[in-house]
Structure 1
C-alpha cells in the first residue's frame, strides 16, 4: 500500500512582526501562526490530497487575510481537484474571493497573496502556482517545477521582491493565469513546497544538500535553521511531500 507523508513548518522569521504565510495539507490549515516543531502527517494514497503554501504580500494590508482565505478555499475544494482544469478553476475562484473580501473592507484594499502547491493523485501529481512561492522536485537533486511570476533577473541577482501575478493585490480586479502541470507519480517521489522566506536567503545548492542529507522532520528543521542563520528576513513556510510504500 502506498501513502503520502507531509512534513510542514511555518515561522515568522527574525525580521517580521507577524506571520502572513498560510499552509494547507488536505483538510488541515495553518494560518498566521507558528509551529514550534515540524509536524508530520500521513495519508493513504487515493483521494486528491492538496498541499500548498500561500505568502501574504508584505507591505500590503491584510496579507495574512488573503493567504488564509486562499488555503481555506483549497482545503474545502481539495477533494474535487482531480484535473488541471479543476485546479485552475479553484485558483481563479480564490482570486475572486480575495478581491471580494477586499471590496467589503476598505482596510483590506489591495491585499494579496501568492500560492504554490501540489495535488497528489493515485497516479500523478498536479503542480500549481501563482506568484513566486515555489514547488521543487527533490527526488533526484533539486529541480524547480513551478514557474516564478517575476521579471527576469539581471546577472548575479538571485531574487526580486517584484511579482507579476498574484491572487488579489490590486485596487481593481485582475484575472490570473495559474501555472499548472502534471507529472507521473512513483514511490520515492519527493517535493518541497515553500515560500520565498526559504528560497531567497538560502541558495539552491544548500537546499539540495540538506535534502540529500535529511528526511522528513529533520530535513524541515534544517531548512528552517538555514533560513534563520541567513538572517530570517521573511516568513518561512515549507512542506515536504513524500510518496512511500509499495504498489502492491
Structure 2
C-alpha cells in the first residue's frame, strides 16, 4: 500500500527564551514546545493529509498563540482540503481566527507565517503566507516551491526578518493572498517544510548536502544540528515529507 511518512522536529534554538513555532501533520499538532528527538508518523496515501509549520511573528505579542491557532485550524480542516480553492479558503479562515482572537488587548497585533503542503493521492498542494518555506528535495538539488512574502533584499543580504503578509500581525484586519500551487506526486518524492529558523542560518546548498546524504529521522536531526551549529538564532521547526510505496 502506498503511504506517506512525516518526520518532524521543533526546537526553540539557542537564543530564544521560548518556542513560538507550531506544526501540524494530519490530526497531530505540536504547539510552542520542544521535541527531544525527531518524530516519525506514517499515513496512508489517499485522504488529504496536511503538513505545515507556522512561525509566530517575533517582536509582537503572543506569536505562539497565533501559530497554534493556525495549525489547529488546519488540522481540523485537513481532510476536506482536496483542492487549491479549499486550501485558500482554509488559510483565510486561519487569518480570520487570528484576528478574532486578537480582539483581546493582550493579543492584539499577534501574527504568524504558515507554509505547508496537502498530500493528495496523485498530487501535492503547496501553500504559504509569509516566509516559512516548502522545498522540493530532488535528486538534482533543493528547489523552493513556496513563495517568500518578503521585501527585496538589500545588496549583500541573504535573509531578512521582514514579511509583506502574514496571518494577523496588524492592529486592524488585513486580507491575505495565499500562495497555492499544485505539483505532481511520485513515489520517492521528498519535501522539506520549515520555518526560517532553519533556512536563515543554514544556506540552501548546505541543506541540500544533508538531504542527499540522509533520510527520515537522521535527516531531520542533521538539519536541526546544522541550525544549532550555525548559532541557533531562532526557533527551528521542520517536517520532512516522504512518499513511499
TM-score (ref. length: structure 2): 0.99
Deviation at residue 152 of structure 1 after TM alignment: 1.1
Are residues 1:170 and 2:170 paired? Answer: yes
CA distance in structure 2 between the aligned counterparts of 1:169 and 1:154, rounded to whole angstroms: 23
Unaligned runs of 5+ in 2: none
Are residues 1:137 and 2:129 paired? Answer: no
CA distance in structure 1 between the aligned counterparts of 2:156 and 2:108, rounded to whole angstroms: 35
Deviation at residue 133 of structure 1 after TM alignment: 0.1
CA distance in structure 2 between the aligned counterparts of 1:202 and 1:239, rounded to whole angstroms: 16
Counterpart position of 2:112: 113
Counterpart position of 2:219: 219
Deviation at residue 239 of structure 1 after TM alignment: 0.2
1:145-224 alignment, distance < 5 Å: 145-224=145-224
Secondary structure at 1:75 match in 2: helix
Counterpart position of 2:44: 44
> Which runs of structure 1 show a deviation greater than 2 angstroms over 4 or more consecutive aligned residues?
none
1:14-163 alignment, distance < 5 Å: 14-103=14-103, 105-140=104-139, 141-163=141-163
TM-score (ref. length: structure 1): 0.98
Deviation at residue 84 of structure 1 after TM alignment: 0.2
CA distance in structure 2 between the aligned counterparts of 1:26 and 1:155, rounded to whole angstroms: 40
Unaligned runs of 5+ in 1: none
Secondary structure at 2:174 match in 1: coil
CA distance in structure 1 between the aligned counterparts of 2:69 and 2:144, rounded to whole angstroms: 26
Cα shift readout 1:132-159 (whole Å, capped 9, x = no counterpart): 0000000221000000000111232110
CA distance in structure 2 between the aligned counterparts of 1:183 and 1:29, rounded to whole angstroms: 25
CA distance in structure 2 between the aligned counterparts of 1:145 and 1:155, rounded to whole angstroms: 24
CA distance in structure 1 between the aligned counterparts of 2:156 and 2:206, rounded to whole angstroms: 17
Cα shift readout 1:160-214 (whole Å, capped 9, x = no counterpart): 0110000000000000000000001100110000000000000000000000000
Counterpart position of 2:9: 9
Secondary structure at 1:173 match in 2: coil
Deviation at residue 234 of structure 1 after TM alignment: 0.2
Instruction: Please tell me whether the aligned partners of residues 139 and 188 of structure 1 are also in contact (alpha carbons under 8 angstroms).
Output: no
Secondary structure at 1:107 match in 2: coil
Cα shift readout 1:18-72 (whole Å, capped 9, x = no counterpart): 1000000000000000000000000110100000000000111010000000000
Secondary structure at 1:90 match in 2: helix
Counterpart position of 1:239: 239
- The two structures, once aligned, show a CA RMSD in angstroms of 0.5
